[in-house]
Amino acid sequence: MSDTIKINVIGIAHTPYKQKFGIPRQPGLAPGIPGTIEIHAPYNREEAFRSIETFSHLWVNFIFHGIESNKWQSMVRPPRLGGKKKVGVFASRSTHRPNPLGLSVVKLERIEIKQEQLLLHISSHDLLDQTPIVDIKPYLPYSDAINEASNGYAPAPENNVYEVEFSSRSLEFIDNWQHEQAANLKSQLINILSQDPRPAYSKEDPQKQNYGMRLYNLDIQFSIENNCMKVVNITQI
């Protein structure tokens, strides 16, 4: 048997996450963030997705395209262990894998078919914009959710949820932003920043820290001080 297997890309994800920084570490942690999966020909046949709308959630297999190729690591430092302790790559969800395959559960909002275009509108995802999609399957809670399963070194979601504040300048920008997601921007930023997107190694510095991330076509500048995330400024790129 050959050591290589060909995998066809069936579509591409379009999401507000333009860089890895700011993406939730697990799907479902920022439920208000929208996205779409555009299915490529010849897989964009209506019959190939018939009855998919009867499922509320989907498994999505994808390629970690925002990492260096051929850079897998046998040992990694999971954020849940503070970025200090190493575990085996197969005991983690690290992107630095022999095969850069990702797997996420996403919420299916609706399916849109127009002319030759087929779009899956999703939410509660953790997909970087332009992520190649290689497979889609229904999520079945009676078999896919195992209540008695153990969670290893990540027994529950992190409980260090931060308060999020907005400067008057950032609120003014939100009020005047002309975009289909303008009404949801504030709540989306709260969902993302309250989960603390910072890398683990930076969390031990007690001093005020300043950060920036991209969301949609926006540059979001925020700081953290006294366990509070504050959106300082938002500019359009």
The candidate with the shortest Cα–Cα distance to 120, out of 172, 196, 43, is 43
The candidate with the shortest Cα–Cα distance to 123, out of 10, 18, 27, is 27
- Gap between the Cα atoms of 210 and 208, Å rounded: 7
Show the CA angle centred on residue 184, arms to residues 217 and 141, nearest 5°.
105
pLDDT in tens, 154-172: 766 666 678 999 999 999 9
113 lies in the same domain as 167 = no
pLDDT at position 147 is 87
126 lies in the same domain as 232 = no
pLDDT at position 199 is 72
Handedness of CA 200, 145, 105, 174 (dihedral sign): negative
Give Dmax over CA atoms of the chain in angstroms. 62
pLDDT at position 209 is 80
106 lies in the same domain as 212 = no
CATH number at residue 202: 3.30.2310.20
Tally of CA atoms within 13 A in the half-sphere of 178 that contains its CB = 0
pLDDT at position 81 is 79
**Is 189 within the bounds of a domain?**
yes
pLDDT at position 227 is 80
- Gap between the Cα atoms of 195 and 224, Å rounded: 12
Torsion of CA 25, 177, 230, 169, to 10 degrees: 160
Cβ neighbours for 139, distance < 8 A, ≥ 6 positions apart: 55, 56, 57, 58, 59, 105
pLDDT in tens, 53-63: 999 999 999 99
pLDDT at position 30 is 81
181 lies in the same domain as 125 = no
Domain that holds residue 175: 163-236
pLDDT at position 3 is 82
126 lies in the same domain as 48 = yes
Amino acid type, 42: P
What's the total number of domains in the chain?
A: 2
CATH number at residue 129: 2.40.30.70
pLDDT at position 162 is 86
Please state the pTM of the whole predicted model: 0.88
- DSSP bridge partners of 104: 60
186 lies in the same domain as 227 = yes
108 lies in the same domain as 207 = no
**Is 109 within the bounds of a domain?**
yes
3-class SS at 138?
Answer: strand
129 lies in the same domain as 215 = no
pLDDT at position 178 is 92
Average pLDDT, the chain: 89
21 lies in the same domain as 128 = yes
pLDDT at position 154 is 75
pLDDT at position 187 is 93
222 lies in the same domain as 170 = yes
115 lies in the same domain as 194 = no
- Residues of the chain falling short of pLDDT 70: 1, 69-70, 155-160, 200-208
